[in-house]
Amino acid sequence: MDYKGYCVKCKEKNVKMEDPKLVNMKGKGTVKRYAVSGTCPKCGTKMFRIVGAADAEAFKKAN
């Protein structure tokens, strides 16, 4: 699955992440939040995108 995000350093929208990885974050109380972390192909800066539970499950199944 291709994940796109915003690169803060390049200031470009919809940049495809390289090496996306699913990350668990703390949420309120006992709720878990999910995010996808990767790198920008142009400058190598770390990118981060918060995703919902459904996208997280799809990411787990795809990888």
Q: What is the pLDDT of residues 35-62, one digit of tens each?
A: 999 999 999 999 999 999 899 999 988 8
pTM of the model: 0.81
**Which residue in 36, 43, 44, 31 sits closest to 5, CA to CA?**
36
**Which residue in 43, 42, 51 sits closest to 21, CA to CA?**
51
**Which pair of structure tokens corresponds to residue 10?**
């390049």
What are the pLDDT digits (tens) for 12-24?
888 899 999 999 9
In the predicted structure, residue 5 carries a pLDDT above the cut 80: yes
Q: Which CATH number fits domain 4-62: 3.30.450, 2.60.40, 1.10.260, 2.20.25?
A: 2.20.25
Longest dimension (CA), the chain: 38
**Residue 62 CB partners (closer than 8 Å, separation 6+):** 1
Domain ranges of the chain: 4-62
Q: Can you tell me whether residue 39 is helix, strand or coil?
A: strand
In the predicted structure, residue 8 carries a pLDDT above the cut 80: yes
